[in-house]
C-alpha cells in the first residue's frame, strides 16, 4: 500500500530521526531540493526560500498538477514555502533572521553570489553563526579552470565521461535517461551535511561543504575509472553489457527481453541447468568469468538459442527464485503497479499528492509525509510571524515586492 500519514505511529516515529533540525533551503532545480527533501522526509524542519518568480522547475512541464509542474512536486514535499527577493536589503535581513537558529543552510547559487550580497560564508556567516553547516552546491566548484561556471546534469554527463560509456557499441554517446548526476549530488550533499552535523557534536562548530556536480559525476564512473587506472584503456560503449562480467546483459527471449546479471560460477551453473543446457557450464570457453568475457558473443548466442523457448514474464520468477539474478525489462507503469513496489511502500501519499517515497527505512523513526509541496509563498506569512515580524511590517514588505504570498 502507499505510505501515508499514519495516526497510529508513536510520537518518536512521527517526529523522525532528524526532528529538531532546522534547514534553510535556498536551492532550486534538482540536486539541492532532492537533498533537502531527504532531510525533510526524516523529520527536519525545512524552510524553502524561492525568489518571487519561483523555482524554475515549477514551469518544467507538462505534466502539470494544478498549474505546477510534476517535476517540482517530486522534489519539494515536507517543506514550508517562502518567497523572498534576496536582491533587496530587507530580503537579506529576513534570511539572516532565519539563520539565527538554523542548523543547516543549503544553496546552489553561482559561486560568488553570497559574497556579492555581503553574505559570504568565511567573512560573514561563519563568524555570525559559528555552528551553522553551510552546503554550497554548484556545477564545477568555486575555483579551478572551470570554477564558477554554470553546470547542468546533462552537461556534466557529457563532460564527466558518463555519456562516453552509455549507449550501443556502434551508436552515439547517450545521456542516461534519468538526471543521475543531480540525484547523486543531492545524495552526497545530504551525506556531507550529516557528517558535518556529527562532527559538530564534538567541536561545536559548523563548516562549509563544497559539493559540485562535476565531482559527483566523475565519482560514479565505476568500474570504468577503476579499469582505466588498471590498464590505461579508454572504455568503450557496450550497450547493456557489463564491461567486467558475463553473462550480464539483456537477452532476447521468445517474448520480451530479460536482463541476466550472473556474477559467479555457481549462478552460471544454475542458469544453464534451468535452461536445460548444463553442458554450457562445462564448456572451456565459459569455465569462469574471464573466459566468459572473452567469449561473450558466443555465450550470448548460445543462451538466446535456449531463451527463445521462454518468455521473460514466466522465466524471470523461476530463475531469480533459484538464485539467478535477473528480471524483465519493465516500464514505469509496471514498476508503480508491481506488488513489490507496493510492499516496499515506495509510493508516498499526502491527500491528492503522490510521489516517490524515501528508500531509507529506519526501524524506529521511519520517513513520514506531512506536507505536500508548497505553493509559491504559501507559508510566507506564517514564517515571518514566527520571526516576530508584525502584520503591518509584513504588509509593507509584500507591497514593496520583497515578500510574495
Residues in Cβ contact with 223 at an 8 Å cutoff, skipping those fewer than 6 apart: 243, 244
Tell me the residue ranges of DSSP E strands in 199-346: 208-212, 248-251, 258-261, 326-328
Which of 345, 353, 341 has its CA nearest to residue 77?
Answer: 353
- Using DSSP's 3-state secondary structure scheme, residue 314 falls into helix
Element holding 69 (H helix, E strand): strand 68-69
Q: How far apart are CA 344 and CA 2, in angstroms?
A: 9
Tell me the residue ranges of DSSP E strands in 104-234: 104-107, 133-138, 208-212
Q: Could you say which of 45, 182, 249, 379 is catalytic?
A: 182
- The three-point CA angle 388-393-394 to 5° equals 80
Q: How far apart are CA 374 and CA 372, in angstroms?
A: 6
Quote the radius of gyration of the chain (alpha carbons, Å). 25
The helices-and-strands tally (H runs, E runs) of the chain is: 19, 14
* Helix, strand, coil percentages, rounded to 5, for the chain: 40, 15, 45
Instruction: Provide the greatest CA pair distance for the chain.
Output: 84
**Cis omega before residue 63 (within 30°)?**
yes
Strand partners, 107: 136
213 and 151 Cβ atoms separated by less than 8 Å? yes
Extract the C-alpha cell encoding 4: 501515508
Extract the C-alpha cell encoding 205: 562548530
Clarify whether 182 is annotated catalytic: yes
286 and 262 Cβ atoms separated by less than 8 Å? no
Counting Cα atoms < 13 Å in the Cβ hemisphere of 361 gives 7
**CA pseudo-torsion sign 259, 261, 265, 270:** negative
Tell me the residue ranges of DSSP E strands in 95-177: 104-107, 133-138
Catalytic site residues? 182
Amino acid at each position: 500500500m502507499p505510505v501515508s500519514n499514519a495516526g497510529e505511529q508513536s510520537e518518536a516515529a512521527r517526529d523522525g530521526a532528524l526532528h529538531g533540525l532546522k534547514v534553510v533551503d535556498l536551492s532550486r532545480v534538482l540536486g539541492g531540493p532532492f537533498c533537502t527533501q531527504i532531510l525533510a522526509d526524516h523529520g527536519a524542519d525545512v524552510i524553502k526560500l524561492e525568489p518571487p518568480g519561483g523555482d524554475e522547475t515549477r514551469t518544467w512541464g507538462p505534466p502539470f498538477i494544478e498549474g505546477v509542474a510534476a517535476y517540482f512536486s517530486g522534489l519539494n514535499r515536507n517543506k514550508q514555502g517562502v518567497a523572498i527577493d534576496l536582491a533587496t536589503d530587507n530580503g537579506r535581513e529576513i534570511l539572516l533572521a532565519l539563520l539565527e537558529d538554523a542548523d543547516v543552510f543549503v544553496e546552489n547559487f553561482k559561486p560568488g553570489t553570497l559574497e556579492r550580497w555581503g553574505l559570504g560564508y568565511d567573512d560573514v556567516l561563519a563568524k555570525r553563526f559559528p555552528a551553522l553547516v553551510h552546503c554550497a552546491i554548484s556545477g564545477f566548484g568555486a575555483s579551478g579552470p572551470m570554477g564558477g561556471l554554470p553546470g547542468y546534469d546533462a552537461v556534466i554527463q557529457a563532460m564527466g565521461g558518463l555519456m562516453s560509456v552509455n549507449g550501443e557499441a556502434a551508436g552515439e554517446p547517450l545521456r542516461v535517461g534519468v538526471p543521475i548526476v543531480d540525484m547523486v549530488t543531492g545524495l552526497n550533499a545530504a551525506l556531507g551535511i550529516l557528517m558535518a552535523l556529527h562532527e559538530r557534536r564534538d567541536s561545536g562548530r559548523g563548516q562549509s561543504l563544497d559539493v559540485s556536480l562535476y565531482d559527483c559525476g566523475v565519482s560514479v564512473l565505476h568500474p570504468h575509472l577503476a579499469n582505466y587506472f588498471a590498464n590505461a584503456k579508454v572504455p568503450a560503449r557496450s550497450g547493456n553489457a557489463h564491461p567486467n562480467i558475463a553473462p550480464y546483459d539483456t537477452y532476447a527471449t521468445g517474448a520480451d527481453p530479460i536482463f541476466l546479471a550472473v556474477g559467479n560460477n555457481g549462478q552460471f551453473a544454475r542458469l544453464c541447468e534451468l535452461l536445460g543446457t548444463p553442458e554450457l557450464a562445462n564448456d572451456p570457453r565459459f569455465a569462469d568469468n574471464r573466459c566468459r568475457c572473452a567469449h561473450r558473443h558466443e555465450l550470448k548466442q548460445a543462451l538466446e538459442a535456449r531463451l527463445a523457448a521462454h518468455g521473460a514474464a514466466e522465466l524471470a520468477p523461476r530463475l531469480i527464485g533459484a538464485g539467478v539474478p535477473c528480471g524483465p525489462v519493465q516500464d514505469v507503469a509496471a514498476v508503480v503497479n508491481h506488488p513489490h513496489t507496493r510492499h516496499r511502500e515506495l509510493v508516498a501519499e499526502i491527500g491528492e499528492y503522490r510521489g516517490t517515497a524515501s528508500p531509507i527505512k529506519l526501524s524506529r523513526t521511519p520517513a513520514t509525509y506531512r506536507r505536500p509541496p508548497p505553493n509559491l509563498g504559501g507559508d510566507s506569512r506564517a514564517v515571518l510571524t514566527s520571526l516576530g515580524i508584525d502584520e503591518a511590517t509584513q504588509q509593507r514588505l509584500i507591497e514593496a515586492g520583497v515578500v510574495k504570498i
